[in-house]
Structures are given as structure tokens and as C-alpha cells.
Amino acid sequence: MFTRYTATLLCTTLSFAVLVSSFAANAVAQQLTPAEQKMVEAVKARSADALKLLEKSVNINSGTMNHDGVREVGKVFRAELDALGFTTKWVDMPKEMNRAGHLVATKRGTSKGKRLLLIGHLDTVFEKDSPVTAWKPDGRRVYGQGVADMKGGNVIIIEALRAMQAAGTLDAANISVIFTGDEERVGAPIDTARADMVSLARQSDIAIAFEGMIRDVNGNEFASIARRASGSWTLNVTGRQGHSAGVFGPLSGFGAAYEMARILNAFREQLLEPDFTYNVGLVLAGTDVNYDDAQSKGSAAGKANIIPPTAVVKGDVRYLTKVQGERVRARMAEIVGQNLRGTSATITFNEAYPPMSPTEGNLAVFKQYAKASEDAGLGKLELTAPSTRGAGDIQFVAPLLDCLDGLGAVGGGSHTPGEYLNPESIERNAIRAAILMSRLTK
């Protein structure tokens, strides 16, 4: 069933093949209960209203740096959560972080079932000066700022909770919700920016994130039990400045540009393994090199007849497990240290998002989600390979509890002017989520 997932899990005792075979062996048919059937009916009855809620939120620009817009979208969803009986609050970030803050909602019931943490985000990549249109229906798609990433996912959370309320399964549940205001550009320091999310995770058993669901051209739909870590690296290279006629010689050596090229080519040749990628995003070399990290831009000056003494490279790195990350970083540092004559180099690393490694617990949650989909007559769900997704908020809590991601709206073109949503996915995935959450919290 899950042959699409071909990644090999390195340096871990947990085999994905074992996880998948376990899922297949334990799949058992189950009918919807009367309460679950009522949830289905409740979601369908509100399909038009759900799209109106989505339209309202999409028509408010909430680029990460548009703090007023982020807070305004937060007010829209806070009103919905208040009406569902949640205790809500807005958490401001310190002024120097230059971020709007987060919406937090909690509901404490008497159930002994699993305690859930639901994760969404209010901000988009489209700032106030973006040329992207607001809500724009076009046939079987709707276009707009953040319509799929991820205001559609936020609406699915609200509609699933509303369906639980209609069926009488919400009151006893223990559920926390956090809609962050800076997912697209996380504030620094990260420990402060995600302190509330981590705190809620420590009071929960399962985290569920509603980033967009992947659907392929054949109509197959996918959720995620693993996402790769996202980090950056900086390579600084120095050499001996001199006349170009002496390049490669015993006095001048190879210069910074050739040493930089050696290192990058060695990375290309020697750092090949499943679920690991590294990217070279910016390269500067010359006699005078300047780089502005805050602006992600730089400049270089030099002449063809001068051996360049300085080079700077900026890149990113992604890996599936902590062990893999540690091993590859060590290998990169080893390559950097094998310097050509007359040169030296250093490399530094920064991990922005920790990995959401595949675990038995994550798969167990996915099993229940896939089961809910089939029981509701909404078809099979599959697991997506980690390489198909970027980094997401759920990764900050993945080391603390079982996780599942990708339960949001189906769409495409995220982070582009053509971002769109398939509207029917709001209803489908709200039904799936409502059944899943009711079963987990029962």
C-alpha cells in the first residue's frame, strides 16, 4: 500500500517497512457510530458557511510582518474558538522580536482519552505590498493569499471541533489549539517564539498539524509521520592574496576560490544518502567580500589578475534523524578541513527546525486517521516521503510526543502568486479530523 515511500531510515533501529507492515496487518473494518455519523452530517450542513469563514480570513492580509493583519485574522478564529467553549488568549512576543504573537486556546474536559494539541498558523508569505489577489473563485479552485497555506487548515480545525460539539463528543475532551503568527518567518530567539507551543505539548499526548494535505495527479492523498530537520550552514574560506601568475605555486597557493570549489565539489561527490539534502544558496569570492545576514544579500569585488583571499558560501541542510544530522555535519567538517595549499576554511551550522523522525507512535496515530477516512467512505490515505515537505511548526514539539501532519486543505502553488485551494477538501478533511479526534479523546 505504501510503496511510494522509498526512503531508507539510516542509523535508527526503527524500520519504515516494519511500520508499514504493522499497519497493513492491523487494519480492521469498523462502522461509524451514531455520534460519528452525526459529525459527518454536521460538517456537510456547514460546508457553505465553512467556505465563508475561509473567505473572510483570506481577505485579511496577514503576511508575517503585517502584525495588525495577523492579529486581525487571530480575532476571526478566536471568536470561533470562544463560541466552542475554549478558553482563549493572545500571546504577545517581546517587542524586539518584531512578531505579532500567537493565538492559544484550551479546553479541559473529564475524558481519560488522549490529550490533543492542534497546530495551525495565521501568517502567510504574502505581505501587504503583495500583488496576489484575495479570495478569487475560478471553477473547481479558489485562489488567494494563504488560502491553502494554511488558512484552509485552520478552518478545518474549527469545523472538526464544531462537528464534535454537535455530536456531543467535544465537552469531555482535552484539547489545546495554537495558531502561530510567525510560521513563515519564525521569530528569534526560537526558544521564545515557540515556548508556548512547547509548553502545550508537555501537557498533551498527541500533536496534530493541519498543513496542507498532498494529493497526487491520480487522486491519492497523503499524510505525514516524518518531516526533515531544516538548518543552515556557512562556509568561510581564506587564502593568500597575490598575483594571478603565481596561482597554484608554493608561495601563493590555490586561493580562496579554488578551495571553495574543492569543498563544494567534495560535498556533491561524497554526501549522498537517503533523506539528506544540502543546498548552496549564495556564493561570494574576491578580494573584498561583504555579506548581510539580515538581508540575505552580499557583494564581492575582485580582479581577474588577483588571487582572491576570501570566499563565503551560505546553504541549507535537511536530514531525517538527529543521528543522521550529527554524522553528516561531522563529515562536512572533515571535508572542509582537508585544505589546499595556502588556504584555510571553517564551517558553522545552525538548526532552525529539529527533525520529526518517523516513530511507531506517529504511525499509530496515522493508522487511526486512515481508518477514520475509510470508515467515513472517504478513501484510503497513504504516507508521504519526508522529502516532499518543507519544515513546519510541528517539528518543534516532535521530540516530545506522537505527531501527525498534513491534515489540512488540498491545494497547490503555495508561496506563489498562483496559490489555490480545492474547496471540497475542507469538508472531506473536517470529517476525517472530527472522527479521528473523537476516537483519540474518547
pLDDT of residue 387: 85
Cis bond leading into 332, ω under 30°? no
Nearest-angstrom CA–CA distance, 177 and 200:
9
Confidence of residue 430 (pLDDT cuts 50, 70, 90): very high
> What's the grid cell of residue 344?
584555510
β-strands 175-180, 102-107 pairing: antiparallel
Phi then psi for residue 392, to 5 deg, are -150, 165
Identify whether residues 96 and 69 lie together within a single domain.
yes
Identify whether residues 155 and 29 lie together within a single domain.
yes
5 belongs to a structural domain: no
Give the residue carrying C-alpha cell 538548518: 231
Residue 6's CB is within 10 A of a number of other CB atoms, namely 10
Q: Is the pLDDT of residue 202 over 90?
A: yes
Identify whether residues 259 and 110 lie together within a single domain.
no
CATH number at residue 243: 3.30.70.360
pLDDT of residue 133: 77
Identify whether residues 302 and 402 lie together within a single domain.
no
pLDDT of residue 14: 41
Alpha helices in 27-151 (DSSP H): 34-45, 47-58, 67-83
End-to-end CA distance of the chain: 29
pLDDT of residue 391: 87
Cis bond leading into 189, ω under 30°? yes
> What's the grid cell of residue 31?
462502522
3-state SS, residue 162: helix
Identify whether residues 156 and 120 lie together within a single domain.
yes
* Residues 6+ away with beta carbon under 8 Å from 189: none
- Pick from 303, 334, 353: which residue ends a domain? 353
Give the residue carrying C-alpha cell 543521528: 323
Give the residue carrying C-alpha cell 495558531: 179
Identify whether residues 334 and 408 lie together within a single domain.
no
Alpha helices in 59-193 (DSSP H): 67-83, 152-167, 190-193
Provide mean pLDDT across the span 426-431.
98
Q: Is the pLDDT of residue 261 over 70?
A: yes
Burial group, residue 237, by CB count within 10 angstroms (0-12, 13-18, 19+): buried
Identify whether residues 202 and 258 lie together within a single domain.
no
Rounded to two decimals, the pTM is 0.85
CA 382 → CA 71, 105, 150, 220, 236, distances in Å? 35, 30, 21, 7, 43
On whether the CB atoms of residues 406 and 209 are closer than 8 A, the answer is: yes
Tell me the residue ranges of DSSP E strands in 166-276.
175-180, 206-209, 214-215, 221-223, 229-239, 242-243
Could you report the per-residue pLDDT of 102-136, keeping only the tens digit for each?
Answer: 999 999 999 999 999 999 999 999 999 888 878 99
Residue % of the chain over a pLDDT of 70: 93
pLDDT of residue 296: 83
10 belongs to a structural domain: no
Nearest-angstrom CA–CA distance, 147 and 136:
10
6 belongs to a structural domain: no
Range of the domain at 106: 16-227+356-441
Identify whether residues 107 and 172 lie together within a single domain.
yes
> Containing H/E element for 402?
strand 402-404
Confidence of residue 30 (pLDDT cuts 50, 70, 90): low
To 10 degrees, the CA torsion angle through 216, 221, 226, 230?
A: 40
Nearest-angstrom CA–CA distance, 8 and 282:
30
Nearest-angstrom CA–CA distance, 442 and 206:
13
Identify whether residues 51 and 79 lie together within a single domain.
yes
For the chain, what is the mean pLDDT? 92
CATH number at residue 138: 3.40.630.10
248 belongs to a structural domain: yes
Identify whether residues 204 and 89 lie together within a single domain.
yes
Identify whether residues 142 and 47 lie together within a single domain.
yes
Q: Is the pLDDT of residue 329 over 50?
A: yes
Identify whether residues 67 and 140 lie together within a single domain.
yes
Give which of 296, 389, 228, 51 is closest to 43, Cα–Cα: 51
8 belongs to a structural domain: no
Q: Is the pLDDT of residue 8 over 50?
A: no
Nearest-angstrom CA–CA distance, 52 and 345:
56
Mapped to the 3 state alphabet, what secondary structure does 344-372 carry?
A: EEEEEEEEEECCECCCHHHHHHHHHHHHH
Counting the structural domains of the chain, the total is 2
Nearest-angstrom CA–CA distance, 21 and 19:
6
On whether the CB atoms of residues 93 and 101 are closer than 8 A, the answer is: yes
